[in-house]
Amino acid sequence: MTVTQTSASTTSEFVSRHIGPRPADVETMLQTLGYSSLDDLIDTAVPADIRQDSMLDIPAALSETEALAHLRALASKNVMKTQMIGQGFYDTITPAVIRRNIVENPAWYTAYTPYQPEISQGRLEALLNFQTMVMDLTGLPIANASLLDESSAAAEAVLMMRRANKKKAKGKTVLDSNIFPQTIKVVQGRADALGFEVEVADLSAGLPEGDISGILLQQPGNNGSIAEHEGIIAAAKEAGAMVTVIADLLALTMITPPGEQGADIAVGNTQRFGVPLFFGGPHAAYMAVADGLTRSMPGRLVGVSVDDAGVPAYRLALQTREQHIRREKATSNICTAQALLAICASMYAVYHGPAGLKQIASRANNHARVIASSLVAGGFTLASQSFFDTVVVNVENAEQIISAANEAGINLRKINDTQVGVSTDETTTSDIVKTLLGVFGVELSAPEGFDIPASQVRTSNYLTHPIFNTISSETQMMRYLRRLSDRDLALDRTMIPLGSCTMKLNSAAEMESITWPEFASIHPYVPAEQSVGWRELITDLEGRLTAITGYAGVSIQPNAGSQGEYAGLLAISGYHASRGEAQRNVCLIPASAHGTNAASAVLAGMKVVVVKTAADGTIDANDLDAKIEANKDVLAAIMITYPSTHGVYDADVRVVCDKVHAAGGQVYIDGANMNAMVGLAQPGKFGGDVSHLNLHKTFCIPHGGGGPGVGPIGVGEHLLPFLPGDASGSYTERDGVPVVATAFGSAGVLPISWAYIAMMGGDGLTEATKHAILNANYIAKCLNEHFPVLFTGNKDLVAHECILDLRELTAKTGVTAEDVAKRLIDFGFHAPTLSFPVAGTLMVEPTESEDLGEIERFIEAMITIRQEMEEVLSGVYSIEQSPLRNAPHTATAVINSNWDRKYSVEQAAFPVSGLKFDKYFPAVGRIDGAGGDRNLICSCPAPEAFED
Ligand SMILES: *Cc1c(COP(=O)(O)O)cnc(C)c1O
């Protein structure tokens, strides 16, 4: 696509709206830092050795109006039809109150993952509703707070069965042949990477021979049929195998849930609960498990605990099983999941309630029965006599029917040359049914037969909790959403200074287009000519990301950073294998790396070898040499983060890359910190063979409270054949290259990153990076005397973030980094990253979007906290009596006639005077996380729990 340049837009106003500090502020900050110009600072901070020699080769910046006009033009190249393709994706109606108040509301979409539970009670409640909804509908006792997509969730279930079923650890995994083909492919890819056997078999004919670790079934099946699974489930159990059922949640309002049939695990997509098709994603996948499997379940889990006043409070449970703690021993590599989409799906259930959902399901089922009855009356035969919403019809010529349907404005699914699939959904109307029947040349008849088999009719209740039964008017719904979001601190209220996570502006113009129906209503499997606009946008975005990273090509398929890591490492393995070096399977990972790195390496079938950190925070060169030498014949790769997770540009990164290359290894550069490099340095040019980017960090996709994300990978020329698909054609798969997610991954949010890059242009992006570095260095300089900055590079400068070392202060005063994090809440701040990558520290990343005023407010808060630490030291109060240990303070805590603490209520609530005009009170006080883990409750508590 060519983007026209207009002279008016060469200096984009958007750039100055995206970047926080004004030119005069920049001067002030530079003075404090002792530099005469921003370029002077940048030239000192960023090693000359890695600097790119030319400006970014991307089209000039567009204004907001121009960018939106381009997006309109792209959107209009997509063709909107009635989507009856099914295959795991169904049209749905997003209630306007949910679209406007969640999807388009920064209070929800700019929130961070709820690691600080006291400021996240709203989204935690929404996610707990999600878990409760999934548990009820699947009939299983525990559900997590979302996974990435149905196919990868099925793969996670397979791996979980292999972990949990120790007796059959060496057994094969059997997939029923009646599973969606995209799921079979993703699971097969995982199995190939890990070297275990997967067999695809028709399980309706019974279990195949041999030792079986677990089986995977789908309900309803690929051909739409409702299977009677009890028999095969019982047989599998008898044979010592575990059972996973991929189930359609809407169908489960009418048919027996997997939990009641003895399944150990249920997974699936929640897209049709009000989340647009989005050309394939993002959507929240779910996973529910039987008792005993909770601790090995992947993904995040919300649980109920109590705060310091004994009030019920939510927080993420069992964090200890996750990759950021367990690294290569983690249950999965999933970090960013699909929180925002899970929240939407849960609110769809709150909005419709159990009766409303049942009605939506029955209507879709009824339309399908009308279609089936009419087709049979008209002489057609069907592939299956029982179905929920998908009728598979035997025809003479599938292409012919599909193209006739297409002419009539309807997309159908081609199953094979003589079968087409028709899926109904919430949006199906009688008119659509009539048009469809016209395509087949049959008359409308009344539904006759095709009842759900009696043995499969659901008899149990679901969604009985009051939250799904008390909100019926839109006023109530609007207020519920507002009440929850008011409990949370998101980017719309405060800086979120999270090191490694880059919480920058998600501008309104960037967000604008994602809900346009021309983008949002496109099914991922439409014929290529209906998704021309989407594919142009994706190809163009891939091109721009290629130019930015300095690689030879990019694939946007991975739907989170973790999935990019996995795809990138598979590309490396594929490359080694293609050169007859399949034995190369060792992955070197520095001790400071993000936990997903190690977890992804294991999933890609590699062996993790840890490289030590030197005292100055760089990679220990001696240890690196020793590890390379010890593994030189089997060295597959090194995974480094650049700038390092210590917030510093290691000057010798080229040396590290050269050493690994010399030993035959490949270099994976984790690009989560790309915000420190865009326009200044290119990983593809200073030694990287592959990198993932986090579009939900550097490229402005909002965090959504823990997802969605996009983790595209860029690769060098030699790895291009191993990229998981590209946007030419229909993201066609490559021979022998595993797919890691469905087709275009989280396509639906790509217009956000496209708009950001388009409105910034090469100059603007580079300016953003420079200002991010300026802001970080300003904070480091101003706070260093109060909280020493742990690692610095050239001339004591940091990159785009800095680590504040509290360990010595903790030893002296007893005040922990956690106390500081919680006390910051009283100042209305979200905490920095806590204890990563170094325990007992806080990592601060302001990003370019924060203005000097907000940065000064943060510095003031930190210095005030430092003074309170002094007061602990000087004995004004003990640590237990201090406002630090008792933080955060709720309104209930401070508005209390029995106040008897060693500090005043004013100090508790208004430690700095600015707070008198703008005060955030958290809904709960400090939460007992460990206590909640000991007594695990992961569904909505009864309302009585909140009574005094
Ligand atoms: C965020 C992050 C990741 C993981 O990305 P997800 O999208 O959460 O999977 C990996 N590495 C680093 C350094 C990160 O900061």
pLDDT digit string, tens, across residues 13-30: 999 999 999 999 999 999
Torsion angles phi and psi, residue 297, rounded to 5: -75, 135
Q: Above pLDDT 90, what percent of the chain?
A: 93
Give residue 726's pLDDT.
58
Rounded CA separation 538/542 (Å):
6
Q: What is the mean pLDDT of residues 603-628?
A: 96
Other C-beta atoms within 10 Å of 393: how many?
23
Whether the model pTM is above 0.95: yes
Could you tell me the CATH number of the domain that includes residue 598? 3.40.640.10
Task: Give domain status of residue 723, yes or no.
Answer: yes
Q: Which of 500, 504, 703, 753 to mutate to test the pocket of ligand 1 (most atoms within 8 A of CB)?
A: 500
Last residue of a domain, one of 735, 757, 779: 757
Task: Give domain status of residue 413, yes or no.
Answer: yes
Please report where in the chains the tokens 């910051």 appear, as a residue. Answer: 824
Q: Which amino acid is at 601?
A: A
HEC profile for 670-685?
A: EECCHHHCCCCECCCC
On whether both 729 and 584 belong to a single domain, the answer is yes
Give residue 516's pLDDT.
98
Cα 314 to averaged position of ligand 1 atoms, centre (Å): 24
Give residue 11's pLDDT.
56
Cα 671 to averaged position of ligand 1 atoms, centre (Å): 9
Cα 157 to averaged position of ligand 1 atoms, centre (Å): 22
**195-231, pLDDT tens digit by residue?**
999 999 999 999 999 999 999 999 999 999 999 999 9
Give residue 742's pLDDT.
79
On whether both 853 and 892 belong to a single domain, the answer is yes
Could you tell me the CATH number of the domain that includes residue 850? 3.90.1150.10
Ligand 1 atom with minimal separation from the 500 CA: 15
Instruction: Check pLDDT > 50 for residue 192.
Output: yes
Q: Which of 562, 603, 642, 843 to mutate to test the pocket of ligand 1 (most atoms within 8 A of CB)?
A: 562
On whether both 432 and 562 belong to a single domain, the answer is no
Among 320-329, 467-476, 618-627, the range scoring the smallest mean pLDDT is 320-329
Task: Give domain status of residue 271, yes or no.
Answer: no
Task: Give domain status of residue 869, yes or no.
Answer: yes
Rounded CA separation 49/733 (Å):
38
Q: What is the mean pLDDT of residues 456-470?
A: 97
- Mean predicted lDDT score pLDDT of the chain: 95
Give residue 27's pLDDT.
98
Q: What is the mean pLDDT of residues 125-147?
A: 98
Task: Give domain status of residue 88, yes or no.
Answer: no
Burial grade of 870 (CB within 10 A; 0-12, 13-18, 19 or more): exposed
Cα 307 to averaged position of ligand 1 atoms, centre (Å): 30
Give residue 2's pLDDT.
43
Instruction: Check pLDDT > 60 for residue 468.
Output: yes
Give residue 118's pLDDT.
98
Q: Which of 323, 594, 644 to mutate to test the pocket of ligand 1 (most atoms within 8 A of CB)?
A: 594
On whether both 563 and 685 belong to a single domain, the answer is yes
Cα 696 to averaged position of ligand 1 atoms, centre (Å): 10
Protein residue with its CA nearest to atom 4 in ligand 1:
561
Q: What is the mean pLDDT of residues 273-294?
A: 97
On whether both 684 and 827 belong to a single domain, the answer is no
On whether both 785 and 727 belong to a single domain, the answer is no
On whether both 797 and 904 belong to a single domain, the answer is yes
Last residue of a domain, one of 757, 780, 815: 757
Cα 199 to averaged position of ligand 1 atoms, centre (Å): 33
**437-453, pLDDT tens digit by residue?**
999 999 999 999 999 99
Domain of residue 391: give its range: 353-456
Protein residue with its CA nearest to atom 6 in ligand 1:
561
Protein residue with its CA nearest to atom 2 in ligand 1:
672
Please report where in the chains the tokens 């996240």 appear, as a residue. Answer: 120
Instruction: Check pLDDT > 70 for residue 5.
Output: no
DSSP tag of 709: -
On whether both 701 and 634 belong to a single domain, the answer is yes
The H or E element that residue 127 is part of is helix 121-138
**SS3 breakdown of the chain: % helix, strand, coil, rounded to 5?**
45, 15, 45
Please report where in the chains the tokens 């360990």 appear, as a residue. Answer: 807
- When divided into structural domains, the chain yields a total of 3
Distances (CA, A) of 842 to 285, 320, 806, 922: 32, 19, 8, 21
Q: What is the mean pLDDT of residues 778-804?
A: 97
Q: Above pLDDT 70, what percent of the chain?
A: 98
Instruction: Check pLDDT > 70 for residue 552.
Output: yes
Give residue 7's pLDDT.
40
Cα 507 to averaged position of ligand 1 atoms, centre (Å): 22
Torsion angles phi and psi, residue 144, rounded to 5: -95, 180
**839-872, pLDDT tens digit by residue?**
999 999 999 999 999 999 999 999 999 999 999 9
Instruction: Check pLDDT > 90 for residue 734.
Output: no
Task: Give domain status of residue 294, yes or no.
Answer: no
On whether both 822 and 772 belong to a single domain, the answer is yes
**Residue 737 — very low, low, confident or very high, per pLDDT cuts 50/70/90?**
confident
Task: Give domain status of residue 166, yes or no.
Answer: no
Q: Which amino acid is at 894?
A: V
Burial grade of 484 (CB within 10 A; 0-12, 13-18, 19 or more): buried
Protein residue with its CA nearest to atom 7 in ligand 1:
561
Which parts of 35-115 fold into alpha helices (H)? 38-45, 64-75, 96-98, 106-109
Task: Give domain status of residue 665, yes or no.
Answer: yes
On whether both 607 and 706 belong to a single domain, the answer is yes
Instruction: Check pLDDT > 60 for residue 166.
Output: yes
Give residue 731's pLDDT.
57
Name all residues whose Cβ lies below 6 A of ligand 1.
335-336, 500, 560-562, 594, 596, 641, 645, 670, 672, 694, 709, 711
**874-912, pLDDT tens digit by residue?**
999 999 999 999 999 999 999 999 999 999 999 999 999
Cα 113 to averaged position of ligand 1 atoms, centre (Å): 12
Instruction: Check pLDDT > 80 for residue 736.
Output: no
**540-549, pLDDT tens digit by residue?**
999 999 999 9
On whether both 834 and 746 belong to a single domain, the answer is no
Give residue 9's pLDDT.
40
Rounded CA separation 488/828 (Å):
10
On whether both 606 and 714 belong to a single domain, the answer is yes
Cα 567 to averaged position of ligand 1 atoms, centre (Å): 14
